[in-house]
Amino acid sequence: MPDFKTIADFRKDNGEAIRKVCREFVVLCRRLELFSAASVAIDGSKFKAVNTRDRNFTQAKMQRRLAQIDESIARYLSQLDSADRQGEAVPGAKITRLNEKIATLRQEILRLNALNSQMMQTKDQQISLTDPDARSMATSGRGSGMVGYNVQSAVDTKYHLIVAHEVTNVGSDRSQLSHMTERARAAIGSETIEAVVDRGYYSGEEILACEEAGITVYLPKPMTSGINAKGRFGKQDFVYVAEDDVYLCPAGEKLTYRYTNEEDGKTLRRYWTTACQACALKGQCTTGKERRISRWVHEAVLEAVQARLDRNPDKMRVRRQTVEHPFGTIKSWMGATHFQMKTLKHVSTEMALHVLAYNMKRVMRILGVGGLMEAIRA
């Protein structure tokens, strides 16, 4: 049996080959017709990096750390002042210890300031000392983030095989939809594909790119507007009437098109009515002179996606059942630990090994060990 060093070196030295084997295994699954008729669920999951939180710095963390040190120095200085006032009654060893603590903290400030200038030169103003590619990421629940990687995976809905995956160090899933669906489509070898994802992937541009590429997506729209939280009507309370190009508001008034402008690179059409001033519902609608509704020029695509999901409400259940299986399994194999390797390239190899192992075990379940061996030989 090879020792851990041999295994670690093998993994380190054969990254590209390991990633290729992982991809080839997906091709084998395709040949064995183990995939559904091109239907996948896509999700991202955060995996811890070897880098601890203490060795990762963002601007906010750096400021917090420096402020804590300032507070500690102020506390020690005030203890020194009161020791001065008490004179001989305070043992000399205590004074020396306080001075040492202050000196250590001042050294720490110098170290942090040097790191700060390094950090400010990076693209995302973030620095990780153990694994330079690991990034601080928010996680769902608990409110505590982690330093790690966001692993994207596309899972086939039939046997829950992972058809495509990618390790990223981007904390959000928002920019991943078209890229991951394209990868899944290529892996399955299908002209068309349907993908079901959660609201974390909601991005107008990404959805538009999928629809234009012939990829059918199912995803719910996130409720991001603070208006609903304040008890006022949200945009969903305004109905768009395509034939007349107007919105009907909750009071039954028609909000007509007024002008078009650009915002954050999006072309938006603006609608409103002059009836707001005399409206009995104005208190529930707007604090301004009139309620304005914006419509993205490609909004019809988003409405079609919403209508599709409304017609197929069980798709979100399929998503949960499909995509949570592989992540749950791989994380339970890994245990409560982090990736063993460092940097995006090597972590990608490590993940490819996990995915390969997961897919192989799934196929062994489906075909049996003999069936898989035979298929590999064929």
What does 355-370 look like in DSSP terms, one character per residue?
HHHHHHHHHHHHHHHH
Q: Smallest gap, in angstroms, from Cβ of residue 251 to ligand SF4?
A: 4
- When asked if residue 105 is in the footprint of ligand SF4 (CB under 6 A), the reply is no
Q: Is 246 in the site for ligand SF4 (CB under 6 A)?
A: no
CA 37 to chain centre: 27
Stretch that binds ligand SF4, among 156-164, 173-181, 268-276, 309-317 (CB under 6 A): 268-276
Q: Rule CB under 6 A: is residue 248 a binding residue for ligand SF4?
A: no
| Gap between the Cα atoms of 347 and 150, Å rounded | 11
Q: Applying CB under 6 A, does 253 fall inside the site for ligand SF4? A: yes
How large is the C-alpha radius of gyration of the chain? Answer: 28
- Tell me how far, at minimum, the Cβ of 191 lies from ligand SF4, in Å: 44
C-beta closer to ligand SF4: residue 214 or 283: 283
Amino acid symbol at 258: R
DSSP calls for 322-349: HHHHHHHHHHHHH-S---SS-SHHHHHH
Rounded Cα gap, residues 253 and 292, in angstroms: 12
Q: Pick the stretch among 7-15, 117-125, 275-283, 313-321 that binds ligand SF4 (CB under 6 A).
A: 275-283
Any bridge partners for residue 135, and if so which?
Answer: 148
In the set 40, 177, 187, 249, which binds ligand SF4 (CB under 6 A)? 249
**276 to 305: interface string for ligand SF4, x by CB under 6 A:** x--x-xx--xx---xx--------------
Return the residue matching tokens 């192992």: 357
Asked if 228 touches ligand SF4 (CB under 6 A), the answer is: no
By CB under 6 A, how many residues form the interface with ligand SF4?
A: 14
Candidates 83, 130, 250, 364; binder of ligand SF4 (CB under 6 A) is 250
The CA distance from 218 to 216, in Å, is 7
- Rounded CA-CA distance 3/8 in Å is 9
Minimum gap (Å) between residue 295 Cβ and ligand SF4: 14
CA distance 136 to 118: 17
Residues at the interface with ligand SF4 (CB under 6 A)? 249-251, 253, 273, 275-276, 279, 281-282, 285-286, 290-291
